[in-house]
Amino acid sequence: MTGTYVREFEAFAGNGGAEGPAWLPRVRRAAIDRFAAVGFPTTRDEEWRFTPVAPIAQTEFRPAGPGAVTRAALGPFLFGHAEWPRIVFVNGKFAPELSVLSTLPGGVRLDNLASALRTDGELLERHLTRHARPETTPFAALNTAFMRDGALVYVPPGIALEQPVHLLFVTSPDAGGTVAHPRNLVVVERGARASVVESYVSLADGARYFTNAVTEVVSGEDAWTEHTRIQRESERAYHVGLTHVDQARGSHYRSFTLAMGGAIARHNLHVRLNAPGIETLMYGLYLTRGEQVVDNHTAIYHDNPNCNSWEVYKGVLDDRSRAVFNGKVFVKPEGQKTDAKQTNRNLLLSSAAKVDTKPQLEIFADDVKCTHGATVGFLDPLGLFYLRSRGIPTQTARKILTYAFAAEVVDEVALAPVREELNRLLLARLGHLE
């Protein structure tokens, strides 16, 4: 279907795709050329070896149209306070009537990309597509060619956002067979603090649609950013996402990624450390069942000295589902005194579930501390016996141990309301404990 997208691009470029600042059409054109040249990846590509995206490549998705979603229907996806800032997109398109944009402190921008492209061309030119490059993956190229809307979060220097900002992407019940390319830009300037939650949710349970998202995060000098990504698409949908983070000197970026939706779901998280003295925390949890395939690829680029990165991804797999984890740590010769630790732990609830896990360390500096470890296993039979010997029924004992395994990583989320919401999602998925 590579040709279909290219033809669609010509139609798109001919009517409205050309809107926005003058530099944008060139960027789009280069991106579609890139996509036309490389096409969809196959399992012959090392980066996509364990994740067959053929069902995505072979389906002719229509561009997503508007969908009707009521405020009440959003209920299950909101958290914290109702008046907390949030920007809602339905099928990839900004839904102002569902958003809460009025409660932001001075200077902070929370806007939709389509309108920001008309008003903030300069800010966007400095950042948009400069961080997540179309060459990174074919899907990123496709997103860049077709992006129309998404969220812009801008936190000026020195401003601390007290409340988390929620970017909420909803798929409407009638969106089966469509594709959306959400594009987000988060800029946290020097000395600023922000917590951003990015969720992909569905009111189209059982629908087969495709979300192809790209998010760029710019973390300024000494900035503190918490980024929580919640992927709970329909379990028949396809989700591909790329998050690229650029960090400046002294900044702290922490990410938590929850992946529990999608028939095929892939997320790439790439973090580049552009100066010394940076701290990066990457936590992830994936919960899979049925025939789901959930793939997390992370890459951290230690290009500079005296930076610390800490990564823990955990997975709970049931039924015949599959998970892929690939964690790359690149340490350049300049990256002396790097302290990098990576862990991937997987719990299989079924003997038919499968995990492909691959840590990949490429270290070109000699004075570094880099460790990695991966485990795949079943629930500890002794632990189960211990709980049962106290009168706890087997099924409950299994849930308690599974919850405990997963909750350990959720506990790392800094903001309490975000952590509580993730806990609630986890409990709902595992089946409530007694």
Partner 1 sequence: MLDVIGLRASAGDTEILRGISLKVNPGEVHAIMGPNGSGKSTLAQVLAGHPAYEVSGGRVLFEGRDLLELEPEERAQAGVFLAFQYPVEIPGVTNAYFLRAAYNALRKARGLDEVDPMDFLDILEQKLKIVEWEPDIMSRAVNAGFSGGEKKRNEILQLAVLEPKLGILDETDSGLDIDALRIVAAGVNRLRSPERAFIVVTHYQRLLNHIVPDVVHVLVNGRIAKSGGKELALELEARGYDWVEEEAGVA
Q: Which is nearer to partner 1, 108 or 384 (CB)?
A: 384
Q: Taking the complex as a whole, how short is the minimal distance between the CB of residue 80 and partner 1, in angstroms?
A: 23
In whole angstroms, the minimum distance from the beta carbon of 208 to partner 1 comes to 36
H/E element holding 417? helix 416-430
- Do 137 and 172 contact (CB within 8 A), yes or no? no
Q: Which is nearer to partner 1, 139 or 405 (CB)?
A: 405
In the complex, the smallest distance separating the C-beta of residue 318 from partner 1, rounded to whole angstroms, is 18
Query: Which is closer to partner 1, CB of 18 or CB of 433?
Result: 433
> Could you give the C-alpha distances from 34 to 17, 142, 335, 414, in angstroms and in order?
17, 9, 31, 39
Helix (H, G, I), strand (E, B) or coil at 3: helix
Cβ proximity to partner 1: between 367 and 434 the closer is 434
* Contact between residue 136 and residue 328 where contact means Cβ atoms under 8 Å apart: no
β-sheet bridge partners, residue 139? none
If the CB atoms of residues 115 and 394 are measured against partner 1, the closer one turns out to be 394
Task: Give the residue with the Cβ less far from partner 1, 62 or 424.
Answer: 424
Tokens of 419: 């952590």
- Residue 52 corresponds to which tokens in the numbers above? 């067959």
CA–CA distance from 360 to each of 3, 88, 186, 187, 312 (Å)? 34, 37, 28, 29, 14
Contact indicator for 267, 295 with CB cutoff of 8 Å: yes
Closest approach of Cβ 41 to partner 1, in Å? Answer: 37
Shortest Cβ 401–partner 1 spacing (Å): 7
Of the candidates 182, 284, 200, the one whose C-alpha atom is nearest the C-alpha of residue 237 is 200
3-state SS of the chain: helix, strand, coil percent to 5?
25, 35, 40
Least distance between partner 1 and beta carbon 411 (Å): 8
Residue 115: closest CA among 150, 154, 155: 150
- Which residues lie near partner 1 (CB under 8 A)? 380-383, 385-394, 396-397, 400-401, 403-405, 407-408, 433-434
- Identity of the residue, 3 or 391, whose beta carbon is nearer to partner 1 in the bound complex: 391
- Smaller CB separation from partner 1, 108 or 387: 387
Q: Return the H-helix or E-strand segment holding 270.
A: strand 264-273
Q: Which residue, 94 or 313, is less far from partner 1 as judged by CB? A: 313
In whole angstroms, what separates CA 22 from the centre of its chain? 29
Whole-angstrom distance, CA of residue 245 vs CA of residue 306: 18
Token couple for 129: 């597509």
How far apart are CB 349 and partner 1 at their closest, in Å?
A: 16
Cα dihedral sign, 34-36-40-41: negative
Expressed in angstroms, the distance from the first to the final Cα of the chain is 49
Residue 344 beta carbon to partner 1: minimum distance, rounded to whole angstroms: 17
d(CA 303, CA 248): 11
Which of 23, 385 has the CB closer to partner 1? 385
Angstrom distance (rounded) from CA 114 to CA 132: 18
CB of 413 to partner 1, least distance (A): 15
Smallest distance from partner 1 to CB 393, Å: 5
